[in-house]
Chains A and B, each alone.
Chain A
Amino acid sequence: MYAQMVKSEATNDDPEKLAAFQARIDAGEKIEPKDWMPEGYRKTLVRQIGQHAHSEIVGQLPEGNWITRAPTLERKAILLAKVQDEAGHGLYLYCAAETLGVSRDDLTEALLSGKMKYSSIFNYPTLTWADMGAVGWLVDGAAIMNQVPLQRTSFGPYARAMVRICKEESFHQRQGYDIMMKMAFGTPAQKAMAQDALNRFWYPSLMMFGPSDKDSVHSAQSMAWRIKMNTNDELRQKFVDQTVPQAEYLGLTIPDPAVVWNAEKGGYDYSEPDWTEFFEVIKGNGPCNAERIAARQKAWDDGAWVRDGLMAHARKRAGAQVAAE
């Protein structure tokens, strides 16, 4: 998902306190920043919320790529609004992470140094305008699968950030599908572009949910803490079941001949993505990893004088005010 393979931290706390903490979570209570929490819970959340925030921020890049080349002024305004939302989502999430005692600069530096990750999906290039459709439809669609249940996660600030995000996310998916409809019902060349975008984004979208449950070693503790609400395979199955009929409506073909309805399990069968590719992308060897981090690094470096200048101005004005009083 936007936070893939987040490792649950071991915790070495007083067993009595741990039991009381778990009882609060089991009772559906929200944990707030000033409440006692196990060190492992805090660290796991910083990593997960941080990774989620980084994904929103880096996620602006593949779409930002098309803002200047959107086919109409209306499409351009819509895409601009969507990318601005992603920036907002990143900010909500950074603030939630900061309530756990990390600073914004620490998080930014961890992203730039590669110490913290972002979702593998944003390391794939957006080659044509149809990719804007596929990203909204598939990538945001996959994100929603994970984010809707996270509105009920145990950490209050994270849950509240997810509520805000989910309100806006549905616009993202629908604008994507709207682009796909336009392309799929357009000229044969447009339809071919739509099919090509689906072909390229299908497996990377399935990878967003993380490795198969049988290989996912981090789930149990996070699920007990209600930081992770569903297993990777559960969400992936849900995504496939939702998406296949939507592709059929468009007259597009899922690029996997194994996709067939399985009446027995009440869902579609499908092929696993290439997990070797997934691990390579996570390690930094995807098609766009270097480009994405370079763009973030450049934005950080180029913005330094603005951040410092505004701070200096604020200090000077505050000083003048004190002197006048």
Chain B
Amino acid sequence: MSQEWPLWEIFIRGQHGLNHRHVGSLHAPDAGMAIKHARDVYTRRNEGVSIWVVPSAAITASSPSDKGPLFEPANSKVYRHPTFFDIPEDVGKM
């Protein structure tokens, strides 16, 4: 009754003050072992100060075909960026 260990997505906080960042995935029987394996596979050279493990099956991803409807609306709203507004030099730094 052999069954492959489930897949986990691994997130590492590289330094204090930074976000956890996705670094890859690995197989492990449970969350505790996933952390132990992540230590060995992804932090052999001081790459991290904290590890998150998430079952890959628990992640819902946006579909590539939704790229347009999801992200294009942002393209037409250039006024959301500060550089949209010209401030005269005389006003000083803003």
A: which residues have CB within 8 A of B?
32, 34-36, 81, 84-85, 88, 91-92, 95, 98, 103-105, 160-161, 164, 168, 304, 307-308, 310-311, 313-314, 317-318
Contacts and interface: CB of A to CB of B under 8 A. Distances in A.
Nearest to B25: A95
Nearest to B1: A308
A314 B30 contact: yes
Contacts, number: 53
Interface of B: 1-5, 7, 24-27, 29-30, 33, 40-41, 44-45, 61, 63-64
B74 to A, nearest CB: 19
B29 A95 contact: no
A82 B71 CA distance: 43
A98 B7 contact: yes
A30 B84 CA distance: 30
B29 A92 contact: no
Contacts of A98: 7, 25
A35 B66 CA distance: 11
Contact of B64 (A36, A84, A160): A36
A307 B44 contact: no
A168 B46 CA distance: 13
A104 B26 CA distance: 10
B2 A84 contact: no
Contacts of B30: 310, 313-314, 317-318
A88 B47 CA distance: 14
A84 B44 CA distance: 9
A313 B30 CA distance: 9
Contact of A35 (B7, B44, B64): B64
